[in-house]
Amino acid sequence: MPVSFNLTGKTAIVTGTNTGLGQAIAVALADAGADVALVGRSSMAETEAAVSAAGGRTLAIEADLSTLEPIPRILEETLGWSGRADILVNNAGIIRRADAIDFTEDDWDAVMDVNLKTVFFLAQAFARHLIADGRRGKIINIASLLSFQGGIRVPSYTASKSGLAGLTRQLAFEWASKGINVNAIAPGYFATNNTEALMVDPDRNAAILARIPAGHWGNPDELGGAAVFLASPASDYVHGVVLPVDGGWLAR
């Protein structure tokens, strides 16, 4: 049987799609044939245009994922639009930077709510839908190099992404027998809004570049192939993997 990366006829939900990695993932899934429900808290017009140019249909769902309130609506609007939901990409995330000695409870809770709590409950709602319909599906969580390492001045982000790696493995173990693949991608240092503070700091920028064997910050487009693989039939026997896409950072 030939290996297939074709997503024609599938519908994906991708969170955090107004820019950056979420936008690139949405476009890559559309290139592979999927229709994409875009979830974000600000305008996704640019992403809608890019997905349409790639041949995919889009639905924009405005939602603030700092609370659980939008979760039922995200599924309802997607199903009302497409009649199905086959792929969930939990990409939305936030970061707060401060020395651990000065870190506040508000900054801790804000990051953990978006990066871990909402991810779990959205995955739960998505899985319930699949199980009730007796259908297979793919969940892709966007982890981080800080799922493996400690980071600098980002204690809640590191904790959330380390927790997300563990949650990915736990859900994979529990849901594999139900036809649901749960995996994660751990991006390295990509040029996005979240990393702008590092890129404009000459010392941090130079230190990061010196550590990347590929010799450059990742372009968001370079993440799409991993997302298509994990969303496609080609990965049907892949469960509980946290796949680094990092220019060789972890290999050094």
Q: Provide the 10 A C-beta neighbour count for residue 94.
A: 18
Residue 206, pLDDT above cutoff 70: yes
Helix pair 105-112, 155-175: axis angle to 10 deg? 30
Which of the residues 119, 143, 157, 160 is marked catalytic? 157
* Average pLDDT over all residues of the chain: 96
157 is an active site residue: yes
Query: What is the reported pLDDT for 111?
Result: 98
199, pLDDT greater than 70:
yes
Its pTM surpasses 0.85: yes
The answer on pLDDT for 197 being more than 90 is no
pLDDT score of 1: 64
How far apart (Å, rounded) are the C-alpha atoms in residues 246 and 227?
14
Question: What domains are defined for the chain?
Answer: 11-244 (3.40.50.720)
Say whether pLDDT at 140 is over 70. yes
Q: What is the pLDDT of residues 2-22, one digit of tens each?
A: 789 999 999 999 999 999 999
pLDDT at 194 over 80: no
CA angle 244, 123, 29 (to 5 degrees): 55
The pLDDT assigned to 227 comes to 98
Q: What is residue 138's predicted lDDT score, i.e. its pLDDT?
A: 98
In this prediction, residue 198 carries a pLDDT of 87
Task: Please report the pLDDT score of residue 2 as a whole number.
Answer: 79
Rounded Cα distance between 140 and 7, Å, is 15
- Residue 200: its pLDDT value, please? 93
CB 140 within 8 A of CB 231: yes
User: Residue 190 is encoded by which pair of tokens?
Assistant: 């990509």
- Of 186, 203, 175, 189, whose CA–CA distance to 241 is shortest? 186
